[in-house]
Amino acid sequence: MLAIVRRSLVLRGYINTEFVDEHYDAFLREIGPRVRSGDIRYREDIADGLEKAPEAFIGMLAGRNFGKTLVRVS
């Protein structure tokens, strides 16, 4: 904090929902096709079965996941 004060820096938080109205449609137009084509990829941790949900949740809280944690149920 002292380094911030010494340099007279201004900090501002970022909340993505502040920009939804203005940019979301353009984001979908640009990114959607790139995800479908494979240019942009994302990772998910998937636990199969509802019985694995508690373990997946605990792992997510402990930081053992990468990307989204999902529980796949049929």
The answer to whether the CB of 70 falls within 8 A of the CB of 46 is yes
Residue 40 counted as domain residue: yes
Residue 48 counted as domain residue: yes
The pLDDT assigned to 4 comes to 86
Residue 47 counted as domain residue: yes
The pLDDT assigned to 44 comes to 92
Residue ranges for the chain with pLDDT beneath 70: none
Residue 36 counted as domain residue: yes
Residue 66 is part of which domain span? Answer: 16-72
pTM of the model: 0.54
Q: Minimal CA–CA distance to 43: which of 59, 65, 71?
A: 65
The pLDDT assigned to 27 comes to 93
The pLDDT assigned to 47 comes to 96
Side chain identity at residue 46, one-letter code = I
Please give the tally of structural domains in the chain.
1
The pLDDT assigned to 12 comes to 87
